[in-house]
Amino acid sequence: DWDARVVGGYGQTEICGFATFIDYADMLEAPRSIGWPLPHVTMTVLDPEGNHLPPGEEGELCLRGPSVMLGYWRNEEASVAAVGHGWLRTGDLGTMDDRGRGYLLGRAKELIKTGGENVYPAEVDAVFAAMPEVDGLVPNSAKLDARAWNVPARPVRPSAQHTRAFIAVQTGCDHACTFCVIPQGRGSSRSQSVAAVLREVERHLADGAAEVVLTGVDVTSWGTDLPGAPRLGDLVGAILAAFPELARLRLSSLDGVEIDGALFEILAHDPRAMPHLHLSLQHGHDLILKRMKRRHTRAEAIDLVHRLRERRPEIAVGADLIAGFPTEDAAMHAANRSIVRELGVVHGHVFPYSPRPRTPAARMPQLEKAAIRARAAELRADVAEVRRAWLVSLLGQPLVVLAEADGTGHAGNFARVAVPAGTARGALVTVVPTRIADGVLQ
């Protein structure tokens, strides 16, 4: 869910002379940035074999530099730099232009760009300053002056209607999946308090949002670091109780093994909780799940979905799936494919496995790239087939759709639906689709 934004600097020179880090605990009450010098960090873009890629091609970022402390996390090789709410990490997707400038293909919610005149020409600084994500611009000449570190006061936003509001209630991860570098870059799980989340929801509702989406790196671990260790179901229940005017609440990718009883009951019965469950499933074979250090089994994932569908038959299931994980044989791949049909996965995010530096999976026996790509294509085809049948089943059914600006919108089950011409963005309209065109119900 990252958009492409330029946040890098020159390859082989200095990408970030001064890094910033947001103190999450105080973020809502008093946004502030704390900086540490980050000298002579270099960035290159490499292919999976470690070769330098030519300008314009996308690959993995490779950062090198001296040891540095950034906020709560220490990395002896300085392979991470914090930029506002975002992390610039080894392994992120990046590219270089033909002048040697590096670009991270990702988005930070808020960031301070550093480098100024000595790194970027003035016209590029102007582009950065005009970006809505940029709260302040600190040139090289001022980056050692503490007075320049302060983020300017947020401008008062004009009254506008937004369709959906994405609220990050949690970041970081306490788990150690063998393929993942997130704990290295984002640290342990950290949760926003219930009060802080309620203030965010209130603000977005005042701005006209008709739907709230709760997000996080490991959103179902929300609350484990808070006093009393509340569960995500407690937070969702508090939001629904505090804002009866909130029409739609949706959750981002969930770890099924962490879904607590209260959250299960809300997903199963509350009409304001959208009938859309996206699982961080990753694979359909137990041995691969074990080698990934996932905490669920295939049977547990199937049981969860079946129990929810018994109570709420219309619920749509999405899943993250990895194709070609190390040691995956043909039978394991077949199990991965079969779980798509067994769960009825209609929203599939299929990722061909790619080794990440310093992860245990990168040291396991690897599959050929061609085999990985072929298996990913088969998984995507399986999802597409299940999705087509699902869309056909929705024809003639009334669907409440949240209209967006492009003449379509999303139903509660996250099906894409065309809305009548002239429908205002943010309006909730009932549509009875009669046909399918390019994957859109019409």
Q: What is the mean pLDDT of residues 82-91?
A: 36
Give pLDDT, residue 315. Answer: 97
Distance CA 177, CA 415 (A): 31
Which string of DSSP letters, residue by residue, matches 106-160? B--SSEEEEEGGGTS-HHHHHHHHHSTTEEEEEEGGGTT-GGGGSPPPPPPPPP-
Q: What is the mean pLDDT of residues 107-135?
A: 45
Position with higher pLDDT, 311 vs 20: 311
Q: Is the pLDDT of residue 135 over 70?
A: no
Q: How confident is the model at residue 177 (pLDDT cuts 50, 70, 90)?
A: very high
Give pLDDT, residue 163. Answer: 83
Give pLDDT, residue 54. Answer: 59
Q: What is the pTM of this model?
A: 0.65
Q: How confident is the model at residue 178 (pLDDT cuts 50, 70, 90)?
A: very high
Give pLDDT, residue 340. Answer: 98
Q: How confident is the model at residue 62 (pLDDT cuts 50, 70, 90)?
A: low
- Provide the H-helix boundaries in 281-368: 286-292, 298-311, 330-343
Q: What is the mean pLDDT of residues 222-226?
A: 93
Give pLDDT, residue 186. Answer: 73
CA distances from 255 to 137, 282, 353 (A): 38, 10, 19
Q: Is the pLDDT of residue 120 over 80?
A: no
Give pLDDT, residue 181. Answer: 84
Q: Return all residues near 202 (Cβ < 8 A) that are at least 6 apart.
A: 243
Q: How confident is the model at residue 21 (pLDDT cuts 50, 70, 90)?
A: very low
pLDDT digits (tens, 9 = 90+) for 280-301: 999 999 999 999 999 999 999 9
Give pLDDT, residue 248. Answer: 97
CA distances from 342 to 256, 259, 375 (A): 16, 20, 18
Give yes or no for a contact between 233 and 273, defined as CB atoms under 8 angstroms apart.
no
Give pLDDT, residue 17. Answer: 27
Q: How confident is the model at residue 6 (pLDDT cuts 50, 70, 90)?
A: very low
Give pLDDT, residue 162. Answer: 66
> Token pair for residue 381?
């085809």
Give pLDDT, residue 128. Answer: 56
What single-letter DSSP state applies at residue 52?
A: B
Give pLDDT, residue 60. Answer: 54
Give pLDDT, residue 110. Answer: 31
Give yes or no for a contact between 224 and 211, defined as CB atoms under 8 angstroms apart.
no
N-terminal to C-terminal alpha carbon distance within the chain: 26
pLDDT digits (tens, 9 = 90+) for 64-73: 443 222 322 2
Position with higher pLDDT, 259 vs 56: 259
Give pLDDT, residue 282. Answer: 96
Average pLDDT, the chain: 75
Q: Is 396 helix (H, G, I), strand (E, B) or coil?
A: coil
